[in-house]
Amino acid sequence: MKKVLSRSAPSKAGAPSVPALDAAVTTLPNGLEVIVREDHAHPLVSVQVWIKAGSIHEEQHTGAGIAHCVEHMLFKGTARRDAAQISQGIQALGGYVNAYTSFNRTVYWIDGLAEHAEGYLDILADMIRHSKFDADELTREKEVIRREMAMDNDDPGSAVQHLMQATAFRQHPLRHPIIGHREVFDQISRADVYGFVQRHYVPNNAFIVIAGDVDTAAVLESVRSLFGDWQRRAFDPVLLPAEPRQQGGRTASKNFATELTRIALGWQIPGDSHEDKPALDVLAFLLGSGRSSRLYQELREKRSLAHYIWAGAWCAPEVGLFNVEAECNPDDAEKLRKGMLEVIEVMKKTGPGRAELEKAVRATLSSQMRTLSTVKGQAGSLGHGWLLTGSLDYQRQFLHAISALTPDVIRDAARRYLVPEAMCTVTVGEDVETSSKATASSDSARPDIHRFKLKNGLTLIVGENPRLPLVSVRTNFLAGVLAETDLSAGVTQVSAQMLLKGTKKRAAAEIAAELENRGGSLICTADAHRYTIGADVMRGDEADALDLVADLILNPALPQAQLAEVKKRQIASILEEKEDPLTVAMRKARREIFAGQPFHRTALGTEETVSSLKLADCRAMLQASFATGNGVISVFGDVKAAEMKKQVEKALAKLPRGSRQIALGREYHASAKPAAWTEHMDKEQAVLVVGFRTVGLEDRDVHALNLIDEACSDMGSRLFNRIREELGLAYYVGAQNFAAMGAGAFYFYVGTDPKKVKLAEKELMAQINDLAANGLHTDEIDRARVTWRSSWLRAQQGNGSMADVCAWNEINGLGWDHFQKLPGIMADISSKEIQRVAAKYFGEKKAFIVRVLPK
């Protein structure tokens, strides 16, 4: 057994270094490599099996999506387990299972309770080594993948990505989508799929990563027992064609039924291991990562041309792509494209400033440390480095290369690669082809949590968590749907974005850059219930974070000149929601279920209400919301409670006193009656939503509804197994419990082929009626409890999530420590109570049904 340590990475200007990542790698006689990282902060584990085969390794079947198909089939049954036993077995052990296929890998992983690590390994070993690849099951699963392709075809973001890949690469398999082309996919047989497994799913082409509360020797013994007799086989790596150097620009356009236009610029770059990759990563960060990036500031903030814009550099081992992508109104498309090139040319001419480079270094350090907050993140980071370089020291080496960069090196990389004669330009939009022609937080197993009432009446919650040098600040103020009217719907979100446009002390660019320059991030959002203003920073920067957060709350400038642009972007988000059939169905069901209640509105509002909002509306909502009695501030991380109390009292001393905007315990009564509605969209898929009116988050029944949600949402659920697996009527099927203050709804949903929508509706209603009549079976309840506990633990992995959940529970009257009480509450819910709740709220006569069908 060889042990490899990742030492702390060097940093600039006193920035905290990345903590040592201690891991061990062992190679079994059959060639299988096993990486183990012990982390005893939580009773959790992430078990991952990495296969070094993805979509670029499909050889004569390139473009068929075989690698992705294999990923699906490994969940369909083995010699020991059928599909239901796989999913239910994992659920019974408190695990969450998933997998993903990329260009050069397929990864299967289970996150869950550390005590069941061997059980997770047993199931993964069975799936990877003994899957049956039953011909009938493959036929059914291929239909599921076809529906997934249809969903992909309905997404304009995917359309841009696939069009760019096909344009930028002419020979390399990167030109094909991972999911494959429908025409080629339809031609593959069971022999083709199984042959891919025989060639690539061998121990000498795989490795396992285990991170969490495990003992290395014990878990290695489990791996040897389950994988040790997996036979090594001769393995010839796939020889990939070399991508010829691009000579001359390339353009491509695709018509798409959408009200917005997507533009992307792309350039070929070297592969992941090339010495220029760190410089290209930083170049992408400086151009298009965060509110202070050059593209964001110039084209979104100053010129108001883009709704969103970003840049990235992604690679296979041999070759990659530098990509800049943006979304805009159709009339702005050409101006935006020219603007993107202008910003890039400035970077090529002058390069970045030293302050910008320091920002990139700190942001990279901060991002890496946040990855270490979860066992899944640790395992994924180790696996990525091992796949890429065969070293567990990759993270330190990469950060060292980032830290060694100079402005000239980044400028030279921009000049070398981002050249007009090797640029690809793709556009997706309507008619563009024509026109173009505290008990468990993530950073400490037991954070020390304190609650204070400050002198001005504001509630402060502090969680001391010294595990990593990170601090998260969250302020929550009640607002949103319950504080709005039918005329002002959306004003909370609009006013939240207006806060970022400047204060009496800071310009918008200063607000965007202040924390990003320190490797931190600013949060300024709103949802259906509240404003959330906060920050995630490294230790030592919390005072600056508090000063910025307080400035946004106390001194908003609300410049009139920016209001129109903020409203335009919110309307763009409303229009974007209208492109997704499931969202359209959910929104319609919500309007009907909550008719006569505030929650028939959404946080975004409507095009009409947002268009009519005035600056006075924003100011009035902010003034009514930002008051001591209407808010809670929480700080979690590497801090001391007493010192944090002093800093918060100083920063928010001038926060106006005031009472809650929204009364606790108020019930909202709806007026609509159950019925059915049909909507039509220009999409390939059909969606069915069956909704029911329930209760608010303060009602005890909500906990039984949450268990029903767990039981009906997993791949081991009765809905999944009956409707998707047995009958093949759906691509996806599940449930969602929505609980707000004083009101709630429960949704069942199915995505299906339009030809099967009637059968899917009939079967879904039959399952709902059975649930209303009989509740859940004992085994379903047991799995739901274990799955809920695993989710409850995972949700606490992070200072930000703990700060948010404590503040949310405190502000809605449940108390900050409500999350600590939840395991006891859930354990007390009996099968009789679940049956009572199901009978009370569900049943065909109580159903609000929405069908979204193709035109």
pLDDT tens digits, residue range 207-227? Answer: 999 999 999 999 999 999 999
Residues 643 and 726 grouped into a single domain:
no
Q: Where is average pLDDT lowest: 54-58, 658-662, 815-819? A: 658-662
For the chain, how many structural domains are there in total? 4
Residues 206 and 286 grouped into a single domain:
no
Digit-coded pLDDT (tens) for 403-428: 899 999 999 999 999 999 999 999 99
Residues 470 and 409 grouped into a single domain:
no
Give the number of other Cβ atoms within 10 Å of residue 331's Cβ. 9
β-pair partners for 715: none
Whether 2 has a pLDDT exceeding 50, the answer reads no
Distance CA 179, CA 168 (A): 18
What distances in angstroms separate CA 110 from CA 51, 89, 102, 132, 385, one per listed residue?
Answer: 15, 12, 18, 21, 20
Position 17 scores a pLDDT of 63
The whole-number average pLDDT for the span 584-594 is 96
Q: What is the dihedral of CA 144, 149, 150, 152, to 10 degrees?
A: 130
Answer yes or no: is 333 within a domain. yes
Answer yes or no: is 1 within a domain. no
Closest CA to 91 of 714, 707, 822: 714
Position 9 scores a pLDDT of 43
Position 716 scores a pLDDT of 86
Residues 182 and 34 grouped into a single domain:
yes
Position 438 scores a pLDDT of 40
Whether 377 has a pLDDT exceeding 50, the answer reads yes
Q: What is the CATH number of the domain that holds 322?
A: 3.30.830.10
| Pairing status of strand 44-51 against strand 106-113 | antiparallel
The whole-number average pLDDT for the span 767-792 is 94
Element (H, E) at 217: helix 216-227
Residues 197 and 304 grouped into a single domain:
no
Whether 294 has a pLDDT exceeding 70, the answer reads yes
| Pairing status of strand 423-429 against strand 261-270 | antiparallel
The pLDDT-based confidence of 444 (bands split at 50, 70, 90) is very low
Answer yes or no: is 349 within a domain. yes
Digit-coded pLDDT (tens) for 332-357: 999 999 999 999 999 999 999 998 89
Answer yes or no: is 702 within a domain. yes
- Give the CA count within 13 Å in the CB-facing half-sphere of 606: 11
Tokens representing residue 787 in the block? 């799955």
Picking from 192, 227, 262, the residue at the C-terminal end of a domain is: 227
Whether 484 has a pLDDT exceeding 90, the answer reads yes
What distances in angstroms separate CA 262 from CA 148, 199, 310, 419, one per listed residue?
Answer: 22, 39, 12, 21
The pLDDT-based confidence of 180 (bands split at 50, 70, 90) is very high
3-state secondary structure string, 718-737? Answer: HHHHHHHHHCCCCCEEEEEE
Contacts with 275 (C-beta within 8 Å, 6 or more apart), sequence order = none
Residues 428 and 300 grouped into a single domain:
yes
Contacts with 274 (C-beta within 8 Å, 6 or more apart), sequence order = none
Residue 322, classed as helix, strand or coil, is strand
CA 514 to chain centre: 25
Q: Over pLDDT 90: what percentage of the chain?
A: 81
What distances in angstroms separate CA 446 from CA 449, 463, 791, 806, one per listed residue?
Answer: 9, 10, 17, 14
Closest CA to 837 of 669, 689, 700: 700
Residues 106 and 213 grouped into a single domain:
yes
Answer yes or no: is 727 within a domain. yes
Closest CA to 402 of 366, 364, 351: 364
Whether 5 has a pLDDT exceeding 80, the answer reads no
Distance CA 765, CA 489 (A): 33
Digit-coded pLDDT (tens) for 47-105: 999 999 999 999 999 999 999 999 999 999 999 999 999 999 999 999 999 999 999 99
What distances in angstroms separate CA 157 from CA 180, 327, 824, one per listed residue?
Answer: 16, 9, 43
CA 855 to chain centre: 31
Digit-coded pLDDT (tens) for 516-527: 888 899 999 999
Position 16 scores a pLDDT of 53
The pLDDT-based confidence of 435 (bands split at 50, 70, 90) is low
Place of tokens 């007493």: 642
Digit-coded pLDDT (tens) for 825-838: 999 999 999 999 99
Contacts with 89 (C-beta within 8 Å, 6 or more apart), sequence order = 81, 119, 123, 716
Residues 264 and 198 grouped into a single domain:
no
Position 20 scores a pLDDT of 65
Residues 524 and 634 grouped into a single domain:
yes
- Which region holds residue 23: left if phi is over 0, alpha if psi is between -120 and 50, else beta? beta
Picking from 227, 261, 282, the residue at the C-terminal end of a domain is: 227
Largest interatomic CA distance in the chain = 74
Distance CA 556, CA 93 (A): 50
Residue type, 171: Q
Answer yes or no: is 475 within a domain. yes
The pLDDT-based confidence of 241 (bands split at 50, 70, 90) is confident
Written as one string, the DSSP assignment of 726-771 is IS---SEEEEEEEEETTEEEEEEEEEE-GGGHHHHHHHHHHHHHHH
Answer yes or no: is 720 within a domain. yes
Answer yes or no: is 286 within a domain. yes
Contacts with 821 (C-beta within 8 Å, 6 or more apart), sequence order = none
Residues 839 and 706 grouped into a single domain:
yes
Whether 486 has a pLDDT exceeding 90, the answer reads yes
β-pair partners for 190: none
Picking from 165, 196, 227, the residue at the C-terminal end of a domain is: 227
Position 446 scores a pLDDT of 58
Whether 7 has a pLDDT exceeding 70, the answer reads no
Tokens representing residue 540 in the block? 């030592």
What distances in angstroms separate CA 291 from CA 3, 252, 299, 300, 514, one per listed residue?
Answer: 41, 29, 11, 9, 10
Contact 749, 585 (CB under 8 A): yes
Residues 190 and 329 grouped into a single domain:
no
Digit-coded pLDDT (tens) for 538-569: 999 999 999 999 999 999 999 999 999 999 99
β-pair partners for 689: 749, 850
State the chain's mean pLDDT as an integer. 92
Range of the domain at 166: 19-227
User: In terms of DSSP H, where are the helices of 298-393?
Assistant: 333-350, 354-371, 375-389
β-pair partners for 728: none
The whole-number average pLDDT for the span 1-11 is 42
Element (H, E) at 808: helix 799-811
Residues 597 and 693 grouped into a single domain:
no
